[in-house]
């Protein structure tokens, strides 16, 4: 509270009770300083407002008065048409994109964590698994996801294996899981590596086994540290679920595409984009906030 | 005389080609404190880490209660259950509250229930005047309080031997005392300890034996009175002189 004093927004009364008796009132110099700060604040606000109006106003005018504006707004922003087909896109979004995201993110968390643990373990018995996990991560982090989707979605049914599903929705989920597990494994592994060795030493010196140290001391700190990048991956995953539409899954994008190719109006795509934004923007904001908090926390720890 | 709690014989340790411990031999009888002094890099911390099996020694033998703990068959986890270690940098677990820090090992290693462990931990916290910090996270505590919690954490498993690695070096001078008086209390209660420190006044108060290390060797050892007031080795004299000039005596 006390550091509010002197920040001088002028709201502080000129005389406040002093903590050890008596009254404190700002000196003439301080009063003048506050007035000057107030003038500066007003001046800066005015500058910001003026430049915003000027730049944004000019840009807006150029766009709206350009010769193509009318046709553009009809082809892309035909709202009444857009809202009439919105239910179709929403059904695609909830039945495909949302469900895909829920299933995939759960599986990715489990597989990614397992891969990260295998890669950071030092047990000699796990050596072959360590090699396999490294190859897996290198491979699937390096191949475009679209390729994996095509390979799994069209390739596996072509094998005509007994007992293996041909459902493109399931195959699409599998492809997404394969790729994102590799990403997430690396994020978690980097988190594990940033936990200071002294934490491990402290845990081991208490008699905790290697696994207990990992379970109770290293992993909780690692996961906390990589939560922001993991949330980033979640946002990316939500968007990338749209890629399975290439297999013929009727998700939000596919539903929009069907509509657009029927009417040659592209508002359905814009509607689909808006639906994605409604989910991703809040999530990105939330990610930014957790990232900022975790940086603040780390800085605070550094000072202690 | 009964067997010492800790016996170190001819221990040698190298990091690569750099020899950090050479011909170290120490015996620590029950209820006594051995204090290691010497400049930074003289091998004090490494010796403590070797005792705790956090480092593997390259030669010699370390015995705990007469049993060799440096043999290949020894399970380090079993040995560490009997040892407590406190670090210069506290190393509390930042994601756990004070109480959780303390009950972790009693619960997970010694199989106590959460209630038993908490009860015992609260008793310890009370004894060291920290009960009201039980529900706080370590970063809300001062350095001195954090270090005292770290000491309590290592006591919670009722160790045979406590290893203290420059426990006051990361604290500002005002906070040093509260930690040192905690260690003095432990000594009075009969805890067997090996202490690496730069605090010579403190060494004089708690030590039964003082060892002066330089470049990985014990150059001189003896009672604190003789070692700190009338050392015979010129290197010890020189070291104490420099400590004195730094205002730590």
Write down the pTM of the prediction.
0.82
Nearest residue to A173 (alpha-carbon basis) of A156, A160, A161? A156
pLDDT surpassing 50 at residue B59 = yes
Residue B35 pLDDT grade (very low, low, confident, very high; cuts 50, 70, 90):
very high
What is the average pLDDT score of chain B? 93
d(CA A159, CA A166) in angstroms, rounded, equals 10
Neighboring chain A residues of B84 at a CB cutoff of 8 Å? 205
The pLDDT of residue B173 is 84
Which of B76, B78, B94 is facing A221, going by the closest CB pair? B94
B89 touching A (Cβ < 8 Å): yes
d(CA A47, CA A49) in angstroms, rounded, equals 6
Considering only residues 220 to 249 of chain B, which have any Cβ-Cβ distance to chain A shorter than 8 Å? none
Task: Give yes or no: residues B154 and B224 share one domain.
Answer: no
Q: Which of B49, B51, B81, B94 to mutate to test the interface with A (most CBs of A within 10 A)?
A: B94
pLDDT surpassing 50 at residue A2 = no
Three-state SS for A105-170 is HHHHHHHHHHHHHHHHCCCHHHHHHHHHHHHHHHHHHHCCHHHHHHHHHHHHHHHCCCCCCCCHHH
**B105 and A207: CB-CB below 8 Å?**
yes
pLDDT surpassing 50 at residue A303 = no
Residue A18 pLDDT grade (very low, low, confident, very high; cuts 50, 70, 90):
low
User: Domain map of chain A by residue range?
Assistant: 2-65, 78-298
Instruction: Tell the burial category of A88 from Cβ atoms under 10 Å away from its Cβ (0-12, 13-18, 19+).
Output: middle
Nearest residue to B35 (alpha-carbon basis) of B206, B216, B149? B206
The pLDDT of residue A8 is 46
d(CA B171, CA B167) in angstroms, rounded, equals 8
What is the tens place of the pLDDT at every residue in A27-52? 999 999 999 999 999 999 999 999 99
Q: Which of A191, A194, A197, A206 to mutate to test the interface with B (most CBs of B within 10 A)?
A: A206
Task: Give yes or no: residues B71 and B6 share one domain.
Answer: yes
Chain A residue with the nearest C-alpha to that of B53: A205
**B104 and A204: CB-CB below 8 Å?**
no
Q: Residue B3 falls within a domain, yes or no? A: yes
**A221 and B93: CB-CB below 8 Å?**
yes
**B105 and A202: CB-CB below 8 Å?**
no
Residue A300 pLDDT grade (very low, low, confident, very high; cuts 50, 70, 90):
low
Residue A5 pLDDT grade (very low, low, confident, very high; cuts 50, 70, 90):
very low
Which of A212, A220, A301 is facing B108, going by the closest CB pair? A212
What ipTM was reported for this prediction?
Answer: 0.90
Chain B residue with the nearest C-alpha to that of A200: B91
d(CA A119, CA A126) in angstroms, rounded, equals 9
Please give the residue range of the domain that contains residue B176: 1-82+161-249
Q: Identify the helix (H) or strand (E) that includes residue B242.
A: helix B234-245
d(CA B94, CA A28) in angstroms, rounded, equals 47
What is the tens place of the pLDDT at every residue in B109-148? 999 999 999 999 999 999 999 999 999 999 999 999 999 9
What is the tens place of the pLDDT at every residue in B143-192? 999 999 999 999 999 999 999 999 998 888 888 988 999 999 999 999 99
Region B72-77: mean pLDDT is: 92
Task: Give yes or no: residues B238 and B174 share one domain.
Answer: yes
Neighboring chain B residues of A224 at a CB cutoff of 8 Å? 95
Of B131, B159, B187, which residue is a domain's last? B159
Task: Give yes or no: residues B249 and B165 share one domain.
Answer: yes
Which of A202, A208, A304 is facing B87, going by the closest CB pair? A202
Q: Residue B87 falls within a domain, yes or no? A: no
B11 touching A (Cβ < 8 Å): no
**B91 and A199: CB-CB below 8 Å?**
yes
d(CA B31, CA B160) in angstroms, rounded, equals 10
pLDDT surpassing 60 at residue B249 = no
> What DSSP assignment string belongs to A32-97?
HHHHHHHHHHHHHHHHHHHHHHHHHHHHHHHHHHSTTHHHHHHHH--HHHHHHHHHHHHHHIIIII
User: Vertex A228, ends A222 and A234: CA angle to 5°?
Assistant: 110
**Count of other CB atoms within 10 angstroms of residue A58:** 10
B3 touching A (Cβ < 8 Å): no
The pLDDT of residue A13 is 57
Q: Residue B109 falls within a domain, yes or no? A: yes
d(CA B70, CA B92) in angstroms, rounded, equals 27
User: Vertex B152, ends B176 and B87: CA angle to 5°?
Assistant: 55
What is the tens place of the pLDDT at every residue in A211-261? 999 999 999 999 988 999 999 999 999 999 999 999 989 899 999 999 999
According to DSSP, the residues that pair with B211 across neighbouring strands are: B36, B221
Neighboring chain B residues of A201 at a CB cutoff of 8 Å? 49, 54, 87, 91
Q: How many domains does chain B have?
A: 2
Cα separations in angstroms, A254 against A31, A147, A242, A276? 65, 18, 8, 13
Task: Give yes or no: residues B45 and B76 share one domain.
Answer: yes
Chain A residue with the nearest C-alpha to that of B78: A207
Of B133, B159, B185, which residue is a domain's last? B159
Note the residue count of chain B. Answer: 249
Are A24 and A15 in contact by the 8 Å Cβ rule? The answer is yes
Q: Residue B112 falls within a domain, yes or no? A: yes
Task: Give yes or no: residues B126 and B166 share one domain.
Answer: no
Which of B89, B109, B143 is facing A206, going by the closest CB pair? B109
pLDDT surpassing 60 at residue B77 = yes
Three-state SS for B113-126 is CHHHHHHHHHHHHH
What is the tens place of the pLDDT at every residue in A123-179? 899 999 999 999 999 999 999 999 999 999 999 898 888 888 889 999 999 999 999
Neighboring chain A residues of B81 at a CB cutoff of 8 Å? 207
Q: Is B166 helix (H, G, I), strand (E, B) or coil?
A: coil
Are A175 and A148 in contact by the 8 Å Cβ rule? The answer is yes
Neighboring chain A residues of B51 at a CB cutoff of 8 Å? none
Of B159, B188, B215, which residue is a domain's last? B159
**B52 and A198: CB-CB below 8 Å?**
no
Nearest residue to A119 (alpha-carbon basis) of A143, A136, A142? A136
Q: Residue B56 falls within a domain, yes or no? A: yes
pLDDT surpassing 60 at residue A94 = yes
The pLDDT of residue B123 is 95
Note the residue count of chain A. Answer: 304
**B95 and A220: CB-CB below 8 Å?**
yes
Phi, psi of A195 (to 5 degrees): -70, 125
A216 touching B (Cβ < 8 Å): yes
Domain with B174 in it: what CATH number? 3.40.50.300
d(CA B124, CA A226) in angstroms, rounded, equals 35
The pLDDT of residue A1 is 40
- CA–CA min distance A215, chain B (Å): 11
Residue A19 pLDDT grade (very low, low, confident, very high; cuts 50, 70, 90):
low
The pLDDT of residue A12 is 54
Which of A204, A206, A224 is facing B104, going by the closest CB pair? A206
Cα separations in angstroms, A139 against A142, A178, A181, B203? 5, 10, 12, 59
CATH dotted code for A78-298? 1.10.3720.10
Cα separations in angstroms, A217 against A160, B92, B133, B145? 47, 10, 20, 21
């Amino acid at each position: 509270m006390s550091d509010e004093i002197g920040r001088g927004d002028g709201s502080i009364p000129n005389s406040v009770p002093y903590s050890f008796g008596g009254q404190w009132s700002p000196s003439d110099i301080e009063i003048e300083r506050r007035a000057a700060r107030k003038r500066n604040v007003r001046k800066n606000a005015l500058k910001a407002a003026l430049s915003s109006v000027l730049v944004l106003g000019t840009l807006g005018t150029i766009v709206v008065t350009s010769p193509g504006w009318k046709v553009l707004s009809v082809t892309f922003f035909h709202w009444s048409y857009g809202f009439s087909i919105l239910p179709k896109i929403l059904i695609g979004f909830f039945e495909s994109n949302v469900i895909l995201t829920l299933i995939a993110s759960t599986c990715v968390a489990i597989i990614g964590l397992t891969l990260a643990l295998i890669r950071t373990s030092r047990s000699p018995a796990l050596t072959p698994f360590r090699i396999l996990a490294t190859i897996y991560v290198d491979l699937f982090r390096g191949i475009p996801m679209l390729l994996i989707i095509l390979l799994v979605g069209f390739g596996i049914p072509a094998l005509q294996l007994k007992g293996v599903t041909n459902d493109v929705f399931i195959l699409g989920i599998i492809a997404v899981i394969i790729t994102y597990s590799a990403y997430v494994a690396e994020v978690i592994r980097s988190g594990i590596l940033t936990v200071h060795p002294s934490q491990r030493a402290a845990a081991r010196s208490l008699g905790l086994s290697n696994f207990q140290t990992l379970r109770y001391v290293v992993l909780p700190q690692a996961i906390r540290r990589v939560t922001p990048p993991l949330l980033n991956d979640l946002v990316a995953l939500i968007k990338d679920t749209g890629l399975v539409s290439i297999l013929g899954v009727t998700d939000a994008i596919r539903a929009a595409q069907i509509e657009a190719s029927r009417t040659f109006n592209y508002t359905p795509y814009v509607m689909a984009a808006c639906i994605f934004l409604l989910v991703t923007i809040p999530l990105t904001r939330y990610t930014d906030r957790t990232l900022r908090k975790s940086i603040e926390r780390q800085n605070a720890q550094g000072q202690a | 005389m009964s067997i010492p709690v800790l016996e170190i014989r001819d221990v040698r340790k190298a990091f690569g080609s750099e020899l950090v411990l050479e011909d170290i031999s120490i015996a620590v009888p029950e209820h006594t404190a051995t204090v290691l002094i010497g400049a930074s890099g003289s091998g004090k911390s490494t010796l403590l880490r070797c005792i705790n099996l956090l480092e593997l020694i390259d030669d010699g033998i370390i015995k705990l209660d007469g049993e060799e703990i440096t043999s290949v068959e020894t399970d380090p986890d079993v040995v560490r259950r009997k040892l407590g270690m406190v670090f210069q940098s506290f190393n509390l677990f930042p994601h756990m509250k004070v109480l959780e820090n303390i009950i972790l090992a009693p619960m997970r290693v010694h199989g106590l229930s959460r209630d038993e462990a908490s009860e015992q931990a609260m008793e310890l916290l009370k004894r060291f005047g920290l009960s009201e910090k039980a529900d706080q996270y370590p970063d809300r505590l001062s350095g001195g309080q954090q270090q005292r919690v770290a000491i309590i954490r290592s006591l919670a498993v009722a160790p045979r031997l406590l290893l203290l690695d420059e426990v006051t070096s990361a604290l500002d001078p005002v906070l040093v005392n509260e930690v040192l008086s905690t260690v003095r209390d432990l000594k009075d209660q009969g805890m067997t300890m090996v202490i690496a420190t730069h605090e010579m006044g403190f060494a004089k108060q708690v030590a039964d034996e003082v060892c002066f290390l330089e470049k990985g060797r014990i150059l001189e050892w003896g009672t604190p009175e003789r070692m700190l007031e009338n050392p015979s080795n010129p290197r010890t004299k020189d070291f104490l002189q420099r400590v004195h000039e730094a205002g730590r005596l």
